Structure 1
Amino acid sequence: MVWIGAAVATAVAGAAAGYLGLVTGALPLDVGVGRRTRPLGPQTVDIATPREVVFDVVAQPYLGRATRAMREKLLVLERGSDMVLAAHRTPVAGGRLTATTVETVRFTRPERVDFRLVRGPVPVVTESFTLTEHGAGTRLVYEGELATDLWRAGQWWGGLVAPRWEATVGASLAAVRQEAERRAALP
Protein backbone atom coordinates (compact mmCIF):
# COMPACT_ATOMS: atom_id res chain seq x y z
CA MET A 1 0.00 0.00 0.00
CA VAL A 2 2.87 2.38 0.70
CA TRP A 3 4.08 2.06 -2.88
CA ILE A 4 0.61 3.12 -4.16
CA GLY A 5 0.79 6.29 -2.06
CA ALA A 6 4.30 6.96 -3.32
CA ALA A 7 3.19 6.36 -6.92
CA VAL A 8 0.24 8.74 -6.51
CA ALA A 9 2.49 11.39 -4.89
CA THR A 10 5.00 11.00 -7.73
CA ALA A 11 2.25 11.29 -10.35
CA VAL A 12 0.82 14.42 -8.68
CA ALA A 13 4.27 15.99 -8.39
CA GLY A 14 5.00 15.15 -12.03
CA ALA A 15 1.69 16.63 -13.18
CA ALA A 16 2.31 19.80 -11.15
CA ALA A 17 5.84 20.13 -12.53
CA GLY A 18 4.56 19.56 -16.07
CA TYR A 19 1.85 22.19 -15.62
CA LEU A 20 4.32 24.72 -14.21
CA GLY A 21 6.72 23.92 -17.06
CA LEU A 22 4.00 24.51 -19.66
CA VAL A 23 2.71 27.71 -18.04
CA THR A 24 6.15 29.26 -17.69
CA GLY A 25 7.40 28.08 -21.09
CA ALA A 26 10.22 26.12 -19.46
CA LEU A 27 8.85 22.79 -20.74
CA PRO A 28 7.54 23.34 -24.26
CA LEU A 29 5.37 20.57 -25.69
CA ASP A 30 5.58 20.19 -29.46
CA VAL A 31 4.68 16.69 -30.58
CA GLY A 32 3.05 17.65 -33.89
CA VAL A 33 0.13 15.29 -33.34
CA GLY A 34 -3.49 16.39 -33.27
CA ARG A 35 -2.61 20.00 -34.06
CA ARG A 36 -5.38 22.56 -33.73
CA THR A 37 -5.07 26.22 -34.68
CA ARG A 38 -7.00 29.26 -33.63
CA PRO A 39 -6.78 32.91 -34.64
CA LEU A 40 -5.33 35.62 -32.44
CA GLY A 41 -6.84 39.07 -32.90
CA PRO A 42 -7.38 41.05 -34.88
CA GLN A 43 -6.78 44.01 -32.59
CA THR A 44 -6.70 47.44 -34.17
CA VAL A 45 -5.26 50.62 -32.69
CA ASP A 46 -5.39 54.03 -34.34
CA ILE A 47 -2.44 56.19 -33.34
CA ALA A 48 -2.24 59.93 -33.98
CA THR A 49 1.38 59.71 -35.09
CA PRO A 50 3.18 59.09 -38.41
CA ARG A 51 3.86 55.46 -39.27
CA GLU A 52 7.66 55.82 -39.02
CA VAL A 53 7.36 57.00 -35.40
CA VAL A 54 5.10 54.07 -34.50
CA PHE A 55 7.47 51.63 -36.19
CA ASP A 56 10.41 53.12 -34.25
CA VAL A 57 8.53 52.71 -30.96
CA VAL A 58 7.80 49.05 -31.71
CA ALA A 59 11.36 48.33 -32.91
CA GLN A 60 13.28 50.34 -30.29
CA PRO A 61 13.56 47.71 -27.54
CA TYR A 62 14.68 45.10 -30.10
CA LEU A 63 16.97 47.04 -32.43
CA GLY A 64 18.07 49.86 -30.14
CA ARG A 65 18.39 50.46 -26.45
CA ALA A 66 15.49 49.25 -24.32
CA THR A 67 14.16 51.35 -21.46
CA ARG A 68 14.70 50.07 -17.92
CA ALA A 69 11.06 48.93 -17.75
CA MET A 70 11.39 47.05 -21.04
CA ARG A 71 14.66 45.38 -19.95
CA GLU A 72 12.67 43.69 -17.18
CA LYS A 73 10.28 42.24 -19.78
CA LEU A 74 12.55 41.69 -22.78
CA LEU A 75 16.01 40.27 -23.37
CA VAL A 76 17.48 40.31 -26.88
CA LEU A 77 19.45 37.09 -27.23
CA GLU A 78 20.74 37.63 -30.77
CA ARG A 79 20.50 40.66 -33.03
CA GLY A 80 20.78 40.98 -36.81
CA SER A 81 20.05 43.90 -39.13
CA ASP A 82 16.36 43.09 -39.63
CA MET A 83 15.68 40.25 -37.18
CA VAL A 84 16.26 39.47 -33.51
CA LEU A 85 15.85 36.48 -31.24
CA ALA A 86 14.29 37.74 -28.04
CA ALA A 87 13.05 36.34 -24.73
CA HIS A 88 9.85 37.94 -23.42
CA ARG A 89 9.03 37.65 -19.72
CA THR A 90 5.37 37.90 -18.68
CA PRO A 91 3.99 37.58 -15.15
CA VAL A 92 1.40 34.81 -14.78
CA ALA A 93 -0.54 33.25 -11.89
CA GLY A 94 -1.12 36.63 -10.28
CA GLY A 95 2.55 37.53 -10.59
CA ARG A 96 3.73 34.47 -8.67
CA LEU A 97 5.29 32.96 -11.81
CA THR A 98 6.99 34.32 -14.88
CA ALA A 99 6.34 32.88 -18.32
CA THR A 100 9.27 33.16 -20.70
CA THR A 101 8.70 32.91 -24.41
CA VAL A 102 11.43 33.05 -27.02
CA GLU A 103 10.51 34.53 -30.39
CA THR A 104 12.08 35.68 -33.60
CA VAL A 105 11.08 39.21 -34.49
CA ARG A 106 11.49 40.36 -38.10
CA PHE A 107 11.26 44.01 -39.16
CA THR A 108 10.09 45.32 -42.53
CA ARG A 109 10.39 49.09 -42.21
CA PRO A 110 8.03 50.92 -41.89
CA GLU A 111 5.02 48.71 -42.49
CA ARG A 112 5.39 45.40 -40.66
CA VAL A 113 6.80 43.51 -37.68
CA ASP A 114 6.47 39.70 -37.64
CA PHE A 115 6.82 37.45 -34.60
CA ARG A 116 7.33 33.67 -34.59
CA LEU A 117 7.40 31.65 -31.39
CA VAL A 118 10.49 29.48 -30.86
CA ARG A 119 9.76 28.34 -27.29
CA GLY A 120 6.71 28.90 -25.13
CA PRO A 121 3.57 27.43 -23.61
CA VAL A 122 2.24 26.27 -26.99
CA PRO A 123 4.10 24.83 -29.98
CA VAL A 124 3.23 27.49 -32.56
CA VAL A 125 2.41 31.19 -32.51
CA THR A 126 2.84 33.48 -35.51
CA GLU A 127 1.87 37.13 -35.23
CA SER A 128 2.20 40.40 -37.10
CA PHE A 129 1.87 44.10 -36.49
CA THR A 130 0.86 45.77 -39.74
CA LEU A 131 1.19 49.55 -39.86
CA THR A 132 -0.71 51.54 -42.47
CA GLU A 133 -1.16 55.26 -42.92
CA HIS A 134 -4.58 56.27 -41.67
CA GLY A 135 -5.47 59.91 -42.15
CA ALA A 136 -2.76 61.95 -40.42
CA GLY A 137 -1.82 59.00 -38.24
CA THR A 138 -1.25 55.26 -38.26
CA ARG A 139 -3.45 52.21 -37.98
CA LEU A 140 -1.69 49.30 -36.26
CA VAL A 141 -3.37 45.94 -36.77
CA TYR A 142 -2.34 42.89 -34.76
CA GLU A 143 -3.22 39.44 -36.12
CA GLY A 144 -1.87 35.99 -35.49
CA GLU A 145 -2.42 32.29 -35.09
CA LEU A 146 -1.87 29.98 -32.11
CA ALA A 147 -1.58 26.21 -32.48
CA THR A 148 -1.64 23.41 -29.93
CA ASP A 149 -1.16 19.66 -30.12
CA LEU A 150 -3.07 16.67 -28.74
CA TRP A 151 -6.56 17.25 -30.16
CA ARG A 152 -9.17 18.35 -27.59
CA ALA A 153 -6.70 18.53 -24.72
CA GLY A 154 -4.57 20.93 -26.75
CA GLN A 155 -7.64 22.86 -27.84
CA TRP A 156 -8.57 23.26 -24.17
CA TRP A 157 -5.02 24.44 -23.37
CA GLY A 158 -5.13 26.90 -26.27
CA GLY A 159 -8.41 28.20 -24.88
CA LEU A 160 -6.61 29.02 -21.65
CA VAL A 161 -3.48 30.49 -23.25
CA ALA A 162 -5.02 32.59 -26.05
CA PRO A 163 -6.98 35.10 -23.92
CA ARG A 164 -3.94 35.76 -21.72
CA TRP A 165 -1.74 36.08 -24.82
CA GLU A 166 -4.14 38.54 -26.45
CA ALA A 167 -4.47 40.57 -23.23
CA THR A 168 -0.68 40.86 -23.04
CA VAL A 169 -0.54 42.02 -26.66
CA GLY A 170 -3.38 44.47 -25.99
CA ALA A 171 -1.40 46.01 -23.12
CA SER A 172 1.65 46.27 -25.41
CA LEU A 173 -0.40 47.98 -28.11
CA ALA A 174 -1.71 50.50 -25.58
CA ALA A 175 1.86 51.22 -24.45
CA VAL A 176 2.99 51.66 -28.07
CA ARG A 177 0.17 54.11 -28.69
CA GLN A 178 0.96 56.09 -25.55
CA GLU A 179 4.69 56.30 -26.28
CA ALA A 180 4.26 57.13 -29.98
CA GLU A 181 1.82 59.92 -29.20
CA ARG A 182 4.11 61.21 -26.44
CA ARG A 183 7.04 61.34 -28.89
CA ALA A 184 4.92 63.11 -31.48
CA ALA A 185 3.98 65.78 -28.94
CA LEU A 186 7.63 66.60 -28.13
CA PRO A 187 8.93 69.87 -29.63
Structure 2
Amino acid sequence: MVLERGSDLVLAAHRTPVAGGRLTATTVETVRFTRPERVDFRLVRGPVPAVTETFTLVERGDGTRPVYEGRLGTDLWWVGQWWGGLVAPRWEATVAASLAAIRQEAERGSSSTP
Protein backbone atom coordinates (compact mmCIF):
# COMPACT_ATOMS: atom_id res chain seq x y z
CA MET A 1 0.00 0.00 0.00
CA VAL A 2 1.46 3.38 -1.00
CA LEU A 3 1.33 5.82 1.91
CA GLU A 4 2.91 8.80 0.15
CA ARG A 5 4.14 9.42 -3.38
CA GLY A 6 6.70 11.82 -4.89
CA SER A 7 8.20 12.13 -8.35
CA ASP A 8 10.88 9.46 -7.78
CA LEU A 9 10.13 8.15 -4.28
CA VAL A 10 7.24 6.41 -2.53
CA LEU A 11 6.66 5.48 1.08
CA ALA A 12 5.00 2.09 1.07
CA ALA A 13 3.74 -0.41 3.64
CA HIS A 14 3.11 -4.11 3.28
CA ARG A 15 2.08 -6.88 5.61
CA THR A 16 3.78 -10.27 5.75
CA PRO A 17 2.32 -13.30 7.55
CA VAL A 18 4.74 -14.75 10.12
CA ALA A 19 4.63 -17.50 12.73
CA GLY A 20 2.68 -19.78 10.42
CA GLY A 21 0.16 -17.04 9.68
CA ARG A 22 -0.69 -16.43 13.34
CA LEU A 23 0.98 -13.00 13.30
CA THR A 24 1.50 -10.26 10.74
CA ALA A 25 4.65 -8.15 10.41
CA THR A 26 4.12 -4.67 8.98
CA THR A 27 7.03 -3.26 7.02
CA VAL A 28 7.29 0.37 5.94
CA GLU A 29 9.96 1.34 3.44
CA THR A 30 10.99 4.02 1.00
CA VAL A 31 11.27 2.99 -2.64
CA ARG A 32 13.36 5.27 -4.87
CA PHE A 33 13.25 4.92 -8.65
CA THR A 34 16.22 5.93 -10.77
CA ARG A 35 14.86 5.33 -14.24
CA PRO A 36 15.38 3.25 -16.18
CA GLU A 37 17.92 1.07 -14.44
CA ARG A 38 17.66 1.16 -10.65
CA VAL A 39 15.27 0.76 -7.71
CA ASP A 40 16.46 1.31 -4.12
CA PHE A 41 14.62 0.21 -0.99
CA ARG A 42 15.33 1.41 2.55
CA LEU A 43 13.55 0.08 5.62
CA VAL A 44 11.78 2.67 7.77
CA ARG A 45 9.92 0.28 10.09
CA GLY A 46 10.05 -3.49 10.23
CA PRO A 47 11.10 -6.63 12.06
CA VAL A 48 14.81 -5.66 11.99
CA PRO A 49 16.49 -2.27 12.50
CA ALA A 50 18.09 -1.87 9.07
CA VAL A 51 17.58 -3.17 5.54
CA THR A 52 18.77 -1.68 2.28
CA GLU A 53 18.22 -3.26 -1.11
CA THR A 54 19.06 -2.32 -4.68
CA PHE A 55 17.82 -3.80 -7.94
CA THR A 56 19.83 -2.67 -10.96
CA LEU A 57 19.27 -3.61 -14.60
CA VAL A 58 22.61 -4.29 -16.29
CA GLU A 59 23.10 -4.67 -20.04
CA ARG A 60 25.06 -7.80 -20.93
CA GLY A 61 25.92 -9.29 -24.31
CA ASP A 62 22.98 -11.70 -24.12
CA GLY A 63 20.42 -9.15 -22.84
CA THR A 64 19.47 -7.24 -19.73
CA ARG A 65 19.97 -8.88 -16.34
CA PRO A 66 18.74 -7.81 -12.91
CA VAL A 67 21.43 -7.49 -10.23
CA TYR A 68 20.29 -7.62 -6.62
CA GLU A 69 22.20 -6.35 -3.60
CA GLY A 70 20.80 -6.38 -0.09
CA ARG A 71 21.99 -5.78 3.43
CA LEU A 72 20.21 -6.69 6.65
CA GLY A 73 21.49 -5.09 9.85
CA THR A 74 20.70 -6.09 13.41
CA ASP A 75 21.35 -4.71 16.87
CA LEU A 76 21.19 -6.02 20.46
CA TRP A 77 24.32 -8.16 20.10
CA TRP A 78 23.62 -11.93 20.10
CA VAL A 79 19.85 -11.43 20.37
CA GLY A 80 19.88 -9.34 17.19
CA GLN A 81 22.08 -11.89 15.44
CA TRP A 82 19.67 -14.64 16.46
CA TRP A 83 16.67 -12.63 15.22
CA GLY A 84 18.45 -11.76 11.97
CA GLY A 85 19.15 -15.45 11.48
CA LEU A 86 15.42 -16.14 11.74
CA VAL A 87 14.37 -13.25 9.48
CA ALA A 88 17.05 -13.53 6.77
CA PRO A 89 15.90 -16.85 5.20
CA ARG A 90 12.33 -15.56 4.86
CA TRP A 91 13.63 -12.29 3.37
CA GLU A 92 15.91 -14.14 0.91
CA ALA A 93 13.07 -16.49 -0.12
CA THR A 94 10.76 -13.52 -0.73
CA VAL A 95 13.37 -11.76 -2.88
CA ALA A 96 14.05 -14.97 -4.85
CA ALA A 97 10.31 -15.49 -5.46
CA SER A 98 9.93 -11.88 -6.63
CA LEU A 99 12.86 -12.19 -9.03
CA ALA A 100 11.49 -15.49 -10.37
CA ALA A 101 8.07 -13.90 -10.98
CA ILE A 102 9.68 -10.94 -12.74
CA ARG A 103 11.77 -13.25 -14.92
CA GLN A 104 8.73 -15.37 -15.81
CA GLU A 105 6.71 -12.30 -16.76
CA ALA A 106 9.60 -10.85 -18.80
CA GLU A 107 10.06 -14.13 -20.66
CA ARG A 108 6.32 -14.42 -21.27
CA GLY A 109 6.25 -10.87 -22.61
CA SER A 110 9.26 -11.39 -24.88
CA SER A 111 7.87 -14.61 -26.34
CA SER A 112 4.61 -12.90 -27.33
CA THR A 113 6.44 -10.05 -29.12
CA PRO A 114 6.51 -10.56 -32.92
Q: CA deviation at 1:111?
A: 1.4
Higher strand share: 2
Map Cα deviations across residues 165-184 of structure 1 (whole Å, 9 max, x no partner): 11111111111111122222
Matched, 1:141 2:77: no
SS in 1 for 2:105: helix
Q: CA deviation at 1:150?
A: 0.9
Query: Residues of 2 paired with 1:125 and 1:174: CA distance?
Result: 21
Q: CA deviation at 1:151?
A: 0.8
Pairing of 1:12-161 with structure 2 (within 5 A): 75-161=1-87
TM-score (norm 2): 0.90
- Unaligned segments of structure 2, at least 5 residues: none
- Unaligned segments of structure 1, at least 5 residues: 1-74
Matched, 1:172 2:98: yes
Structure ranking higher on relative contact order (CA contacts 8 Å, 6+ apart): 1
Query: Residues of 2 paired with 1:99 and 1:183: CA distance?
Result: 33
Query: Residues of 1 paired with 2:33 and 2:67: CA distance?
Result: 15
Query: Residues of 2 paired with 1:86 and 1:137: CA distance?
Result: 31
Higher helix share: 1
Matched, 1:185 2:111: yes
SS in 2 for 1:113: strand
**Residues 148 and 175 of structure 1: CA distance in aligned 2, closer, same or farther (over 3 Å):** same
SS in 2 for 1:86: strand
Q: Which runs of 4+ in 1 moved over 3 A?
A: none
Q: CA deviation at 1:88?
A: 2.0
Tell me the matched-pair count.
113
Rg larger for: 1
What value does the CA root-mean-square deviation take over the aligned residues?
1.4
Query: Residues of 1 paired with 2:106 and 2:61: CA distance?
Result: 16
